[in-house]
């Protein structure tokens, strides 16, 4: 059913002006706002507030810093289509400092940053891409004569909100892998205060865009989990929405890259897929606006857990994931079954007992499909406490 609030706005002159600025038909613009509101998990009617905010509020000034990274997060943003990058930076946000996208360089670009910070003191959004080196006083990354530590702290002091984009900025990512010679660290650790983190290597540009639109609409960042990740994007396991999930439940796994199971689209768990222990919306939002299957697992590669601290860039790619809240029932057959010689009375009795247990296990699996991130962790703590008590 169409939103009543959006229908009232359809003939609004401000909405018409905004849709022209964004180069989108009026209804497509309203649909975009409704999609953002739904993606953020906002209540009914909030899509109208989103549309009015994008159409009428002053574009938030954004200061975008680069440190230890590959520029993949920016490259991902360059490929956004709804809206495209030029529409995003000209009509939704005011991108006042970005080393990769700026035509100016040297003293000119640093002056632009300082002017934007002074003109928008207390109201600009600071986005940090890349890890911050902390060893030896942070000398391993300097920009304009300042270390990354000094620059991050200076820019964060008067920012209305701080967003760490990408796994490197969120907790250190690839630069922080052992032996971590530069002491690469995440933004929150260096600043010593909570920040909104949008992990991923690269993260989906729409997770960033939705976070900024939420700030534009409500003057605050969206609700986050204990790791600072927006809950609208990182509250469900990759495993729960994966198109290969049915094969996991049925016990059908690819055992080698290119084998029959792999070609048929079987589950990649046995090849090291970290989807069962990684929270992200990759299988639902996809990448590149190129249609179905446009994400790593859809393309045939296991999830490496890049959005999950302690998994991505830490666990070997071939290592099996720890299934956090949905485990394969015991009644499912193994990949290679031994040939038997017929059932005995004892084995038939055992099978009947297993079947009874399987029915209960199936009910538990169905119930656990809806277990949230927080509930899964509480269950894990309870199991650990129980095991210690029994020991």
pLDDT tens, residue by residue, 134-149: 999 999 999 888 999 9
State pTM to two decimals: 0.72
Which pLDDT value is given to residue 200?
A: 94
Please state whether beta strands 142-143 and 161-165 pair in parallel, antiparallel, or not at all (unpaired): unpaired
Which pLDDT value is given to residue 339?
A: 55
Which pLDDT value is given to residue 362?
A: 46
Length in residues, the chain: 391
Which pLDDT value is given to residue 288?
A: 77
Cα–Cα distance for residue pair 169/149, rounded to 1 Å: 12
Cα–Cα distance for residue pair 28/34, rounded to 1 Å: 10
Which pLDDT value is given to residue 162?
A: 93
Cα–Cα distance for residue pair 353/302, rounded to 1 Å: 36
Residue 336 contacts residue 261 (beta carbons within 8 Å): no
DSSP E strand boundaries for 67-194: 94-98, 125-129, 132-133, 142-143, 146-147, 161-165, 184-185
**Assigned CATH topology for domain 236-335:** Cytochrome-c3 Hydrogenase; Chain A, domain 2 (4.10.480)
Question: What does residue 328 show for φ and ψ, rounded to 5 degrees?
Answer: -65, 130
CATH 3.40.50.700 domain range(s) in the chain: 61-203+228-233
Residue 305 contacts residue 315 (beta carbons within 8 Å): yes
Residue with tokens 């495993």: 239
With a cut of 50, which residues of the chain have pLDDT below it? 1-2, 329, 341-372
The neighbour count for residue 265, using CB atoms within 10 Å, is 17
- Return the SS3 of 62: strand
Which pLDDT value is given to residue 27?
A: 73
Cα–Cα distance for residue pair 106/128, rounded to 1 Å: 19
User: If we measure between CA atoms, which residue out of 253, 250, 283, 295 comes closest to residue 271?
Assistant: 253
Which pLDDT value is given to residue 354?
A: 43
Which pLDDT value is given to residue 6?
A: 59
Which pLDDT value is given to residue 250?
A: 87
Which pLDDT value is given to residue 106?
A: 78
Helix (H) or strand (E) holding 314: none
Helix (H) or strand (E) holding 342: none
Residue 186 contacts residue 61 (beta carbons within 8 Å): no
Superfamily of domain 61-203+228-233: NADH:ubiquinone oxidoreductase-like, 20kDa subunit (3.40.50.700)
Reading the block at residue 180, the tokens are 């971590």
Residue 203 contacts residue 76 (beta carbons within 8 Å): yes
**Nearest-10 Cα torsion for 144, 147, 148, 154:** -80
Reading the block at residue 50, the tokens are 């989103």
Which pLDDT value is given to residue 271?
A: 94
Which pLDDT value is given to residue 170?
A: 94
Cα–Cα distance for residue pair 364/29, rounded to 1 Å: 43
Which pLDDT value is given to residue 369?
A: 43
CATH 4.10.480.10 domain range(s) in the chain: 236-335
User: If we measure between CA atoms, which residue out of 252, 266, 213 comes closest to residue 332?
Assistant: 252
Reading the block at residue 86, the tokens are 């030029």
Sign of CA pseudo-dihedral 298, 309, 42, 18: negative
Which pLDDT value is given to residue 152?
A: 94
- Return the SS3 of 143: strand
Reading the block at residue 294, the tokens are 């446009």
Residue with tokens 């199971």: 261
CA end-to-end distance (rounded Å), the chain: 56
């Amino acid at each position: 059913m169409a939103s009543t609030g959006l229908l009232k706005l359809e003939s609004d002159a401000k909405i018409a002006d905004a849709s022209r600025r964004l180069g989108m038909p009026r209804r497509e613009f309203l649909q975009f706002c409704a999609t953002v509101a739904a993606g953020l998990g906002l209540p009914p009617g909030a899509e109208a507030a989103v549309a009015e905010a994008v159409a009428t509020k002053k574009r938030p000034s954004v200061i975008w810093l680069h440190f230890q990274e590959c520029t993949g997060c920016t490259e991902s943003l360059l490929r956004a289509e709804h809206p495209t990058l030029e529409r995003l930076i000209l009509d939704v946000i005011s991108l006042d400092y970005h080393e990769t996208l700026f035509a100016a360089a040297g003293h000119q670009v640093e002056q632009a940053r300082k002017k934007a910070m002074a003109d928008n003191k207390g109201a600009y959004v600071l986005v940090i891409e890349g890890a911050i080196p902390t060893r030896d006083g942070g000398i391993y990354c300097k920009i304009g004569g300042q270390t990354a530590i000094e620059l991050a702290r200076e820019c964060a002091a008067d920012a209305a909100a701080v967003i760490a984009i990408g796994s490197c900025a969120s907790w250190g990512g690839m630069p922080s892998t052992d032996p971590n010679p530069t002491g690469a660290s995440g933004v929150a650790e260096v600043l010593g205060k909570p920040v909104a983190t949008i992990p991923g290597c690269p993260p989906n540009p729409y997770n960033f865009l939705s976070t900024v639109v939420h700030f534009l609409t409500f003057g605050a960042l969206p609700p986050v989990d204990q790791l600072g990740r927006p809950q609208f994007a990182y509250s469900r396991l990759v495993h729960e929405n994966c198109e290969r999930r049915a094969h996991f439940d049925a016990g059908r796994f690819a055992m080698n890259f290119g084998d029959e199971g792999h070609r048929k689209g079987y589950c990649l768990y046995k090849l090291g897929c970290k989807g069962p222990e990684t929270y992200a919306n990759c299988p639902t939002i996809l990448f590149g606006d190129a249609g179905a299957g446009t994400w790593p697992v859809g393309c045939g590669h296991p999830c490496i857990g890049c959005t999950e601290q302690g998994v991505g860039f830490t666990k070997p790619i071939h290592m099996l994931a720890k299934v956090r809240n949905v485990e394969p029932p015991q009644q499912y057959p193994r990949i290679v079954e031994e040939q038997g010689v017929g059932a005995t009375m004892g084995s038939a009795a055992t099978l009947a007992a297993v079947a009874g247990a399987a029915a209960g296990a199936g009910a538990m699996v169905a119930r656990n499909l809806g277990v949230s991130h927080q509930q899964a962790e509480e269950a894990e703590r309870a199991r650990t406490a129980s095991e210690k008590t029994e020991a």
